[in-house]
């Protein structure tokens, strides 16, 4: 992941998943060095993680911490990540997860 992509992903996490804006530098550092799982917490609690996978970027949280509000935040964030990845890679975003 490039620095620009990582920074754009962080913007999505701040906007939709309640990530603290002050963690960008550490986030970008790790994601640009091949990190495939990053605990960002935010509004998803301690288990809020970003997963960088071959098929896309997605977030999730611990199943036991899932609430309707968190499920909606995950859905909206993952849609935004799909769109971001599609624009970054020149591919089409998936229709639904």
Average pLDDT over residues 48-68: 95
68-89 vs 3-17: helix crossing angle, rounded to 10 = 160
In a domain, 27, yes or no: yes
- Residues 44-61: what's their mean pLDDT? 95
pLDDT over threshold 80, residue 1: yes
The boundaries of the domain holding residue 50 are 3-86
| Count of domains forming the chain | 1
- Judge if pTM exceeds 0.85: yes
């Amino acid at each position: 992941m490039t620095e620009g992509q990582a920074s754009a992903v962080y913007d999505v996490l701040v906007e939709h998943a309640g990530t603290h804006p002050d963690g960008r530098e550490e986030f970008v550092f790790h994601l640009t060095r091949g990190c495939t799982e990053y605990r960002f917490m935010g509004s998803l609690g301690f288990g809020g993680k970003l997963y960088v996978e071959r098929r896309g970027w997605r977030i999730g949280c611990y199943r036991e911490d899932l609430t309707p509000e968190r499920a909606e935040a995950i859905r909206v964030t993952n849609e935004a990540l799909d769109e971001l990845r599609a624009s970054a890679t020149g591919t089409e975003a998936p229709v639904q997860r």
